[in-house]
Structure 1
Amino acid sequence: MSTTPSSPSPVTPSTAPRTVLITGTSSGIGLAAAVAAARAGWRTVATLRDTSRADALRQAAAEAGVELDIRQLDVTDEASVTAAVDGVLADYGRLDAVVNNAGAGHLGTLENDTMEDIRKVMEVNFFGVLTVSKAALPHLRATGGRLITVTSVGGVVGQPFNEVYCAAKFAVEGYMESLAPVARTLGVSVSVVEPGAVATEFVNNLGVDLGAAIDAGPYTAALHSYIDRTTKQFLDGSAQTPAGAAEAVMEALHSDRPAFRIQTTDWARSFVGTKLTDVDGSAVQDLTTAWVA
């Protein structure tokens, strides 16, 4: 049975810095966003599933001359999420923004993936986002805060061999697009940030040796065509840096009226635009079919 959520007391204005909680900060966009937020004056709670992997985060903070509050948070563990959010409120008394960045890549196709593979990707990339957002929303209501989720251009355009990853990102975008006007009635801004190719992340997050001969059964030829095309985009120097992508997160944090959907590059805007004007789906199918031909 549903119950009406209680309303926390509004936070009394003060000179204390605003507090942001960011998930998935061990590397990539999350790490860059944590450092950028701290540099911009936010009290930054940088979370990651395994705090033993925080060395790069600490080094980046030291090099930037900023302080981070590094804490454990596993988005797939509701108790871990609750403990992290409650800890922030206990220590700082407020939560002004959340950046859902934690995620996991996956390379595969339906016939070859196990249902366990599919559920794991959905658990991190979709249900994990909702778990964090649900825990944070009462406190964001109290501060008129911001809920920001890093999705992907893959949250708009379905891409070969990224079926479950795109499905999870589509789901996040649909959920947040639906939630945004509801949250706005209570003063909470909801945005999604859509990166394109970001240097290092694609290869590092897949758990696949792209240089090895991969046997995908009847899909092997198509997979190798996709890998050849995609590794060039990610590894030839044309991919965006994590710091560049994090600038879009800062836009969502600081803009007076942030857009719901924020792409991180002109290429990402063009790519997403292909889908958003593709009424019958033919433009996207023609584009992505060429990747596996």
Structure 2
Amino acid sequence: MSVKTVLITGTSSGIGLATAVAAARSGWHVVATMRDTAKAGALDAAARGAGVSLDVRVLDVTDPASVEACLAGIDQLDAVVNNAGAGHVGTLEQESVEDVRAVMEVNFFGVLHVTRAALPLLRASKGRVLTVTSVGGVVGQPFNEAYCAAKFAVEGFMESLAPVAATTGVSVSVVEPGAVASEFVSNVGIDENLTDKAGPYAPALLAYLARTRNAFANAQAPQDVAEQLVALLAAEQPPFRVLTSQGARAFAGTKLKDLDGSAVQELTTAWVSD
């Protein structure tokens, strides 16, 4: 049997890096992509440590031309892992609409650009699309309005696409981690300086930041999420939704059985209360 190829976005750190290495160790030819390959040092070191080689390429998910150029150099594609994304902390009155659009470009439209370009190749291979979303794609969270909006959009899009893609032999799944111990939080820029411009929302923001630090103190390891993604790559019939930890299952489960929304509101209101 020929070696199967998977394209993974956002592999410079965190889940993407761990998944690229784990997939290569499992025998996949891995096209590991990132916006700036000058930041591939950690990925290269991890690959060397694991004794595997990766095909590292430039891909900016927000740039359709970059996506098309990357995919044009691939003859066979059996799977895509949409992992690239960016967090964002803020609230509507204290940020611009342009800030919100930027979050949507990375976390929603970036996923669409890559998936759209990959689908012809995936139809040919009867392949699959795995998209790393978040429990924030199920449960709206304080000060994550733009981020959760983007992740909700991805979840709705993929849930709608899944039965359509299946008619051509392509499976679609979403993978929902909770807190993951990676550079994601530091890249968001969460710090106490955020309260300087929070105005009347400062007390709520301080409560949220305290809760967030506690949540990430017990975060899931990226390697654990990566192992589950690699298992999905090999699964004969992958499920549509995978929650990657017991905490994620409990959190998302609150929403999935919350028919009137009261349980979620009670839960998240506590995050922003003294």
Q: CA deviation at 1:161?
A: 0.2
Which of 152, 156, 166 aligns to 1:184? It is 166
Equivalent residue number for residue 113 of structure 1: 95
8 A Cα contact 1:248 1:263, kept in partner = no
Extract structure 1 runs of 4+ deviating beyond 6 A: none
Name structure 2 gaps, 5 residues minimum.
none
Distance in 1, matches of 2:82 and 2:258, equals 28
Distance in 2, matches of 1:283 and 1:247, equals 32
8 A Cα contact 1:194 1:261, kept in partner = yes
Q: Does 1:146 align with 2:132?
A: no
Distance in 2, matches of 1:58 and 1:116, equals 35
Using the size of structure 2 for normalisation, the TM-score is: 0.97
Equivalent residue number for residue 43 of structure 2: 57
Q: CA deviation at 1:252?
A: 1.8
Q: How does 1:1-293 map to 2 (within 5 A)?
A: 15-89=1-75, 94-208=76-190, 210-212=191-193, 214-215=195-196, 216-234=198-216, 236=217, 238-293=218-273
Using the size of structure 1 for normalisation, the TM-score is: 0.91
What does the per-residue CA deviation read over 1:184-238, in whole Å, with 9 as the maximum and x for residues that have no partner?
0110010000000001344222023x2546220010000000000111111x2x1
213 and 126 in structure 1: CA distance in 2 versus 1, 3 angstrom threshold: closer
Distance in 1, matches of 2:86 and 2:19, equals 17
Distance in 1, matches of 2:118 and 2:7, equals 9
8 A Cα contact 1:19 1:44, kept in partner = yes
Distance in 1, matches of 2:184 and 2:4, equals 32
Distance in 2, matches of 1:154 and 1:205, equals 17
What does the per-residue CA deviation read over 1:148-205, in whole Å, with 9 as the maximum and x for residues that have no partner?
1000000000000000000000000000000000000110010000000001344222
What secondary structure sits across from 1:219 in the alignment? helix
What secondary structure sits across from 1:106 in the alignment? coil
8 A Cα contact 2:86 2:184, kept in partner = no
Name structure 1 gaps, 5 residues minimum.
1-14
Distance in 2, matches of 1:213 and 1:103, equals 21
Tell me the amino acid that sits aligned with residue 226 of structure 2: A
Tell me the amino acid that sits aligned with residue 137 of structure 2: G
Distance in 2, matches of 1:166 and 1:201, equals 19
Distance in 1, matches of 2:93 and 2:228, equals 36
8 A Cα contact 2:139 2:252, kept in partner = yes
Aligned-pair identity (%): 67
8 A Cα contact 2:83 2:132, kept in partner = yes
Distance in 1, matches of 2:244 and 2:92, equals 29
8 A Cα contact 1:108 1:162, kept in partner = yes
Q: CA deviation at 1:99?
A: 0.4
279 and 213 in structure 1: CA distance in 2 versus 1, 3 angstrom threshold: closer
8 A Cα contact 2:15 2:182, kept in partner = no
Equivalent residue number for residue 4 of structure 1: none
Tell me the amino acid that sits aligned with residue 257 of structure 1: Q
Distance in 1, matches of 2:37 and 2:109, equals 21
Equivalent residue number for residue 9 of structure 1: none
* Larger helix proportion of the pair: 2
